[in-house]
Structure 1
């Protein structure tokens, strides 16, 4: 008996939601000459973001040659990790930050005993903005260029931090989406997040010095000129000129790009570990999985410039 086999009924899915195969994760722009390191020992943690640095005592003198290599390494790898930096006191922490620029205080962080140093002590239950993908200080007119975080006390397990490469996030957008967002501007505002525990009077008083700001959705890195995606979940509130529903849908799609594993590096903290990161080229997420243990860190942010 012969006959025609029934046609297979395939479920319909939106194939634009899926990405199959390799993602483009170039460490630097194609025309960038390779950096040469004579004073640093670098061990990559992924092919494109995050490298361990050995052979350097950050508490010692940071001469011009070492400072130049640290700057080059950060531009190349976006996040640098160092272990066993036992002598990094507040003075040395500030001296390290000066390799890149002036300290920039976060108006919402408690200040440490030394100017520019913020001490962040948490037990895993405190409310904060760290376990959501974000870029520090994007709600400021000149967001922080970078940050340097030192571990003082860490849990026996948990409490890792993850960084995402926003150059890779941009480069892997579809051509149509790149064209759609080119030239768009987004509003960044601290009120929906840091304003949660504040009274209306407190919010209004702080808004006088920290009003909402606008940054391009696609930014050129101020040091390399390389394009990157510059929106984040807690601080980017809307896209200028779009209807509210269209703005929200587009921001949701763009913000999700930081969650893609191929763009990420994850770091397990130990006491006296140090992370130095490019705050424009990356977003980060502090994993809050360590209650009831404590996690105590000290941080300096590095002042930036307006973005274009």
Structure 2
């Protein structure tokens, strides 16, 4: 556990996650607090804040302190704040959040960060799990790391967009959206420019194939790499409470919304922060 002035950073696991105490997110962040949170995010990859009774405007203001807002291309939005994506679910199984993924990697420059807060929770369930892509990479064999070093993968909006349209979470025509957001290639292994650590950068929602491999090779390798993130050694789990917020570095972290509350309503609001093309 470490602290900076009144800020307390309490690690959740050895590989990922920390709870932050001593910050009131209703107030603008001064430079010292901002620097402490950036450092904690770099060290722990996902930060959890408790007892934060903030408004949508304050949610946005907190996110804007860390960069320009990246508006999600599809999905329901807040009626007064179109920068905020609203995740309102009653029957969540199979809708996509219950799959290990990184947010919006179909974009040429996926978001740097995502900040999620709860509006309405089921009586039980609805936890979110987070996994470290850097820990997942470190656990690969040296031979696999070497093989993947120069590989690139295609990230495609198509499958998740079709699912969103089917369940009524998106009303735009598929052909129009797919034309605006064509598939993009990203490295299979990315590098943190600050620490030099490597990250396994494929996920089940958006990654469609590894470039240069045959269909049969992709059928064998890509599912294995996507499944690799499911190792509990790389993970932490957040049990939501009223006033809880999670802020994760979308470059290195995947997440999974546990869909164990069917028939009850769970409402979350998410803001994403613009990023750069993965390298």
Aligned CA distance change for structure 1 residues 294 and 196 (closer, same or farther; 3 Å): closer
Judge conservation of contact 1:111–1:117 (CA < 8 Å) in 2. yes
Query: 1:264 aligns to what?
Result: 235
Q: CA deviation at 1:256?
A: 1.0
Aligned CA distance change for structure 1 residues 224 and 103 (closer, same or farther; 3 Å): farther
Counterpart mapping for 1:47-196 below 5 A: 47-86=14-53, 88-112=54-78, 113-125=80-92, 128-196=95-163
Q: CA deviation at 1:84?
A: 0.8
Structure whose alpha-carbon radius of gyration is higher: 1
Cα distance in 1 for residues equivalent to 2:208 and 2:216:
12
Cα distance in 2 for residues equivalent to 1:246 and 1:176:
17
Cα distance in 2 for residues equivalent to 1:296 and 1:198:
19
Counterpart mapping for 1:200-239 below 5 A: 202-239=173-210
Q: Unpaired runs of 5+ in structure 2?
A: 167-171
Confirm whether residue 306 of structure 1 aligns to residue 274 of structure 2.
no
The aligned length equals 273
Judge conservation of contact 1:39–1:66 (CA < 8 Å) in 2. no
* Residue 279 of structure 1, aligned match among 229, 247, 250: 250
* Residue 253 of structure 1, aligned match among 196, 206, 224: 224
Q: Which deviates more, 42-51 or 190-199?
A: 190-199
More strand per residue: 2
Judge conservation of contact 2:75–2:164 (CA < 8 Å) in 1. no
Q: CA deviation at 1:127?
A: 5.2
Query: 1:289 aligns to what?
Result: 260
Q: Which has the higher contact order (CA 8 A, sep 6+)?
A: 2
TM-score for the superposition, normalised by structure 2: 0.93
Cα distance in 1 for residues equivalent to 2:77 and 2:32:
31
Aligned CA distance change for structure 1 residues 125 and 133 (closer, same or farther; 3 Å): closer
TM-score for the superposition, normalised by structure 1: 0.84
Please tell me the root mean square deviation across aligned C-alpha atoms, in Å.
1.8
Query: 2:169 aligns to what?
Result: none
Cα distance in 2 for residues equivalent to 1:198 and 1:111:
15
